[in-house]
Amino acid sequence: MNSPIIQACKVAKTFIVSRGLFKGKQTLQAVNDVSISVEPQSVLGLVGESGCGKSTLARMLLGLESPSSGDVLLNGKPVSGFDQKTLAKQVQPIFQDPFSSLNPRKVISSIISLPLRVQGIGTRTGWRTQVEEMMELVGLPRRLASSYPSQLSGGQRQRVAIARALIMRPDVVICDEPTSALDVSVQAQILNLLLDLRSELGLTYILISHNLAVVEHIATRVAVMYLGRIVEEADTQMLFTKPGHPYTQALLQSVLTPEPQLDIPDTHLGTTFPNPLEPPSGCAFHPRCASRKPICSEQAPSKVSLRNGSVQCHLFNDANGSSG
Ligand code: SF4
């Protein structure tokens, strides 16, 4: 096994939120005791419903948020010791909505070359050459270099966002719902582009999505998040052929619905996603779980190592129930 390129080690993030006038403040546990380890040139899919904490985890991996506890390590070194510019050379994001992440007043060549200019790398002539190379690599015609984002299609805009993320040749790219704002017909093109670029440039991806069909297509491993915790992690093929956690099973059922881009349908789970400010006791999934037992509402399950992965569920805990 290769040494991990990026890791989260028992990472937690809490926010203090206001409950409104005269109601005081409350603690929101957005990420809770999360550990992940990503090998070079692999793709970790991070899945879960909106509000499960996956984007907060991504922001900590990017160094945009500091963990309340725990560490994020890049090549074994805590990212808290990196300045933002150094970290940005090695870890770059691709966000969901290419339109809002691109400056509408700048032309495409200026947008793609921005990281080089911010970092003070190279010369004006060198920037132009690198932008042209990168545009070719992501499948953008050179004639678009002097266009504005509003003149491009959604797919072209996402290719610009990808080119900007890769212009400094980072090692790790964190893709936060990179295709969910695109037409279905364009989504596959962008996913295939990301796969090609991974091989060509030796990239490592963390792919955040609530859509398991997208994750199955591209990820080598999958971590499933629920209310701030990773409840199951496994190789992609194993997770899709034999999901262990009841929540993962429900997610897989949602892939079979006519609109897989939507969150999990209530029909499989009984109740909607709980309020993160008032998480259920014990296993946070218990109000929606068809397999729950009395202990599930009283005690949080511990992590059980399983099949080249892990699961957090009392069904897999020898002391409390049947083994998986
Ligand atoms: Fe369901 Fe209990 Fe497992 Fe939670 S711990 S997923 S409630 S069976």
Contact 322/315 with Cβ under 8 angstroms?
Answer: yes
The ligand 1 atom nearest the CA atom of 247: 6
Phi, psi of 220 (to 5 degrees): -95, -30
pLDDT in the model for residue 226:
94
User: Among positive and negative, which fits the CA dihedral 156, 162, 165, 167?
Assistant: negative
Contact 232, 311 (CB under 8 A): yes
Please give the model's pTM, rounded to 2 decimal places: 0.89
Tokens 């495409």 belong to residue: 108
Q: What is the pLDDT of residue 268?
A: 55
* Burial per residue of 257-266, b for 16 or more beta-carbon CB atoms within 10 angstroms, e otherwise: eeeebebbee
Residues in the chain: 324
Residue nearest to atom 3 of ligand 1 (CA): 313
User: pLDDT of the chain along its 324 residues, tens only?
Assistant: 679 999 999 999 999 987 776 777 888 999 999 999 999 999 999 998 888 999 899 999 999 999 999 999 999 999 999 998 899 999 999 988 777 788 999 999 999 999 999 999 888 899 999 999 999 999 999 999 999 999 999 999 999 999 999 999 999 999 998 888 888 889 889 999 999 999 999 999 999 987 788 899 899 999 999 999 999 999 999 999 999 999 999 888 866 444 445 554 444 555 577 888 888 999 999 999 989 999 999 999 999 998 689 999 999 976 443 343
**Ligand 1 site-directed mutation target among 224, 247, 286, most atoms within 8 Å of CB:** 286
Nearest to 220 by CA among 237, 199, 196: 237
Cβ contact 231:248 at 8 Å? yes
